[in-house]
């Protein structure tokens, strides 16, 4: 796993397709507003049946996590001054969690398929985004 930081701020976490660890492996700290982890278990493993109970959470920003299912994408990361400071190419099986700053995407391969997850609720494009 690669933590991408600038000036002590964690902007993103990249988990490559060949970095899996057996069991449950959380990629983000408990105090981040996006929790993401991987599962690697063998046939027959049973996980505790459960449900989540309501808990109020304060959230002041929306960010996202992407998983590349096929193809590839270049992700540009922007700092708090709206300047690109890092680019990463993700391929099928890679995951990136954005935690600060801005981001831009360029699709690099035909038929690229990506799953995006973000914290919610989504308010609107006008209230949740500003173009850089």
- Domains of the chain: which residue ranges? 2-128
HEC string of the chain equals: CEEEEECCEEEEEEECCCCCCCEEEECCCCCCCCCCEEEECCCCCCCCCCCCCCCCCCCCCCCEEEEEEECEEEEEEECCCCCEEEEEEEECCCEEEECCCEEEEEECCCCCEEEEEECCCCCCHHHHCCCC
pLDDT digits (tens, 9 = 90+) for 67-124: 999 999 999 999 999 999 999 999 999 999 999 999 999 999 999 999 999 988 778 8
CATH classification code of 2-128: 2.60.120
**Whole-angstrom distance, CA of residue 123 vs CA of residue 91:** 30
């Amino acid at each position: 796993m690669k933590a991408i930081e600038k000036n002590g701020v964690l902007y993103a976490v990249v988990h490559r397709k060949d970095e899996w660890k057996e069991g449950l492996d959380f990629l983000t700290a408990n105090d981040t507003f996006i929790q993401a982890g991987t599962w690697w278990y063998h046939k027959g493993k049973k996980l505790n049946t459960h449900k989540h109970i309501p808990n109020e959470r304060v959230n002041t920003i929306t960010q996202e996590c992407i998983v590349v299912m096929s193809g590839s994408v270049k992700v540009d990361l922007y700092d708090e001054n709206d300047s690109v400071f890092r680019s990463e190419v993700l391929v099928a099986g890679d995951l990136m969690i954005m935690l600060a700053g801005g981001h831009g995407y360029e699709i690099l391969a035909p038929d690229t398929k990506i799953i995006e997850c973000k914290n919610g609720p989504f308010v609107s494009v006008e209230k949740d985004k500003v173009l850089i």
